[in-house]
Amino acid sequence: MNARELLSRYAAGETDFRGASLRNMSVHDADLINADLSQANLQGISLVFSYLMRVNLRQSVLIGAKLSGSNLNQAHLSEAKLNDVDLHGAALVGATLVNADLTFAVLIDANLMNADLRSANLSGANLAGACLKGATLRRASKNITSLRNANLRRADLRGADLSEANLAGADLRGADLSEANLANTDLTGANLAEAIMRGTGLTEANLTGANLANAYMQNVRTERANLSEADLQGTNLDLAVMSMANLSKSNLSEASLYRANLNGTDLSRTNLSGANLREAQLVESYMARTNLTNADLADALLARAELSSANLLNANLKGATMPDGSIATD
């Protein structure tokens, strides 16, 4: 079937093109709304700036296809082979991409709002500037090349493997990252305000200057992560494992760090005013010029910590183990 025949049959009212072979066909500005192209061979096809709303492409082969600027809103792409596909600037609002193979796909500036990407293979995909607001990426594959400046606001990323991904400047406000793997991820300047990060892995991640204000980060792991100059005001970090992390010059005012592990952490010039550090472990932590005004350090473990220049005005140290091994009485 060639392009002329396809469009002619569609114009005549036919929409069933299941299993069709349209390999390397070139059609721009095509109108194929609601067409059924499931299990079709569309490898290398060019449908730039086409209208493909609600099209059924389930299990279709679209390897190397050019779909930039096309409208694929509410399209069905489950189990489709989309390796190396060009979806630059495409609209995929509400699209279903469950188990789709998007290896090395170009999704720069694509609109994936409310898209379903569960178990999709995004290895090597470039989603820089993409909008994934409300999208579901649970169990999505790792090795995404770039999500730099992507809009992931309120996205469902539970359990997603985003290790080593580039999320610098990404908007993740209110996103659910519970149990997600973000080890070695670049989150420089990212906005994670009010994000849900229960049990999230951030080992050796770069969160320099990130906004984590009022985020829920209970049981998070940030060992050796860089959180310098990050905003963690009011954040819940209860039971967090943050040993050897760099939190210098960060804002943790009014944050809750109950029973958190901060052993060997750099807290120099950090604002911990009004923070809850009850029973926290701060062994050998470095707190040069740290602001602990009105902080609650009751029963905290401060053995061998550097506290000599910290501001402890009105701090509660009752029961805390001090740097010299003594137990504070008030």
pLDDT digits 0-9 by tens, 160-215 = 878 888 889 999 999 999 998 899 999 999 999 999 999 999 999 999 999 999 99
Is the confidence at residue 226, as pLDDT, over 60?
Answer: yes
166: CB partners within 8 A, 6+ apart: 128, 144, 145, 146, 147, 148, 185, 186
What pTM was estimated for this model as a whole?
A: 0.82
The answer on pLDDT for 285 being more than 60 is yes
How large is the average pLDDT for residues 145-165? 82
Q: What is the mean pLDDT of the chain?
A: 94
Share of the chain above pLDDT 90, in %: 80
Among 7-11, 228-232, 283-287, name the one with the lowest average pLDDT: 7-11
Highest mean pLDDT among 47-51, 112-116, 172-176: 47-51
Least confident of 38-47, 78-87, 158-167: 158-167
- Is residue 14 pLDDT above 70, yes or no? yes
Which has the higher per-residue pLDDT, 120 or 84? 84
- Higher-confidence residue: 144 or 185? 185
Burial label for 311, CB within 10 Å (0-12, 13-18, 19+), is middle
Contacts of 81 (CB under 8 A, 6+ apart): 60, 61, 62, 63, 100, 101
